[in-house]
Structure 1
Amino acid sequence: MSIHSGLRRADRENSMALWTDLATWRGPTVNSGDGDRNGNEATDRMVEHRGIVLHIAEGYFEGTIAWQKNPSARVSSHFVIAKDGRIAQMVDTDIRSWAQRSGNPTWLSVENEGFVPGALTAQQIEANARLLVRANQIYDIPLQIATSPSGRGLGHHSMGAENGVNWGHPQCPGPAIIAQKPDIVARALELAGEDSATPVPVPERPRHRWIIDD
């Protein structure tokens, strides 16, 4: 169950898949859904939301955004977080990003600016915690650590390889960031407690805009 008691299921079903109060919309990218640019088809959509997967970008903020919009890259994430805590959204959270192979239909994804073996900055920890809280409010993703693709909560990219699942990139995001997962969850629990007395406003759902217009 969601910690936030003020957000009813009907509200979640009509809630915002572009989180513009937390993130700047920097999409669309053709590297999402089924990749055919034909719109909101069943093959584009997430089949469930099990949690959020932490990635390390092996790059810089703007470069990661540009790369994800390049059709040749064949990669994307729902969000990109800069070292200073800025959040960009690349893919609608109801649509599959291309971040962790067989995990794409069931997990949201966050690329964090930086390079292995680096750790997240304090601002990135805060930004990830805020995304986790919103995922809890909208999709009932629990505010807890996940250690395998069969779990739910805050995961990390290499947990696929660690459990024999084809998620790719067994070195991502690296031990330093994996060790920070408890900090992100702890901060998310704090934020959820602060927000629990006030219902989350749910804006009117925007039109889907992840398809590139040629």
Structure 2
Amino acid sequence: MHQRLSGLTRPDVGYRNSPHRSGGSPMVPQGIVIHYTAGRYDGAVGWFQNPVSQVSAHFVVARDGRRIQMVPLPDPDTGGPRDGKYKAWHCKGGNSVYFGIEHEYGYSGATGPADWTEEMLDSSAELSAYLCALYDIPIDVPLDPDTRDWYTGFGGHYNVPGNDHTDPGPHFPWDYYINRVEDFSNSLWESPLPVPATTQQVAHRTL
């Protein structure tokens, strides 16, 4: 079952609360950071809940397409978990403007292109399409991996100034991912409402 919100269909996603998030003023979203977990899905979820980790992301997506939300989103996402603390701790100075999506990748034995599974990428792309539609984030292609700058749209952890991480690495299929975000974006809106009847049509029905 999907929740309907502001004319959009909110993707199905469970919630496991992470204590690592900032209060005060909500974030002002301008983009999405693509991360990898460097460990298994369950381990990443547990780590984001661990009081000592001091790190989190808004979503974690598994190789098989399972996904979990761990930090509430800012308004107008009234259909999701709400506690007034919206900034995940995933990219230092970028936390106030970027959503973070972690992907189950980068662990020992999973470092090649084939390990970016279609199930994982499509599950993540659906989340990204929803975020882009809800917060007016452009579906822009990422910067070059060697460029660190404040971007809009999509980027890797390696693009965010002040960070020294290398995820999502050289094998992330950006072209496929952006195309799937666009596909989900096109199908995300609910069926349009019926066209209002004209004055003449209403008058005819009441005769």
Larger radius of gyration: 2
Contact preservation (8 Å) 1:100, 1:168: no
* Cα separation, 1, equivalents of 2:190 and 2:45: 36
> Secondary structure in 2 aligned to 1:109?
strand
C-alpha offsets along residues 154-179 of structure 1, whole Å, 9 cap, x if unaligned?
Answer: 2110112xxxx20231x2121011xx
User: So what's the TM-score if we normalise by structure 1?
Assistant: 0.72
Name 2:91's counterpart in structure 1: 100
Name 1:26's counterpart in structure 2: 16
Larger RCO: 1 or 2 (CA < 8 Å, sep 6+): 1
Name 1:90's counterpart in structure 2: 70
Query: 2:53 aligned with 1:73, yes or no?
Result: yes
Name 2:169's counterpart in structure 1: 174
* Cα separation, 2, equivalents of 1:104 and 1:192: 24
Identity %: 27
> Secondary structure in 2 aligned to 1:158?
helix
Contact preservation (8 Å) 1:132, 1:154: no
The 1:166–1:30 alpha-carbon spacing in structure 2 relative to 1, beyond 3 Å, is same
* Cα separation, 2, equivalents of 1:149 and 1:132: 20
Name 1:210's counterpart in structure 2: none
- Say what the alpha-carbon RMSD is for the aligned residues: 2.4
Q: Which aligned runs of 4 or more in structure 1 are off by greater than 6 angstroms?
A: none
Gaps of 5+ in 2: 75-85, 193-207
* Cα separation, 1, equivalents of 2:149 and 2:128: 17
Query: 2:109 aligned with 1:109, yes or no?
Result: no
The offset of 1:108, in angstroms, is 0.1
The offset of 1:185, in angstroms, is 1.0
Gaps of 5+ in 1: 1-6, 35-40, 200-214
Query: 2:120 aligned with 1:124, yes or no?
Result: yes
Contact preservation (8 Å) 1:103, 1:167: no
Contact preservation (8 Å) 2:142, 2:155: yes
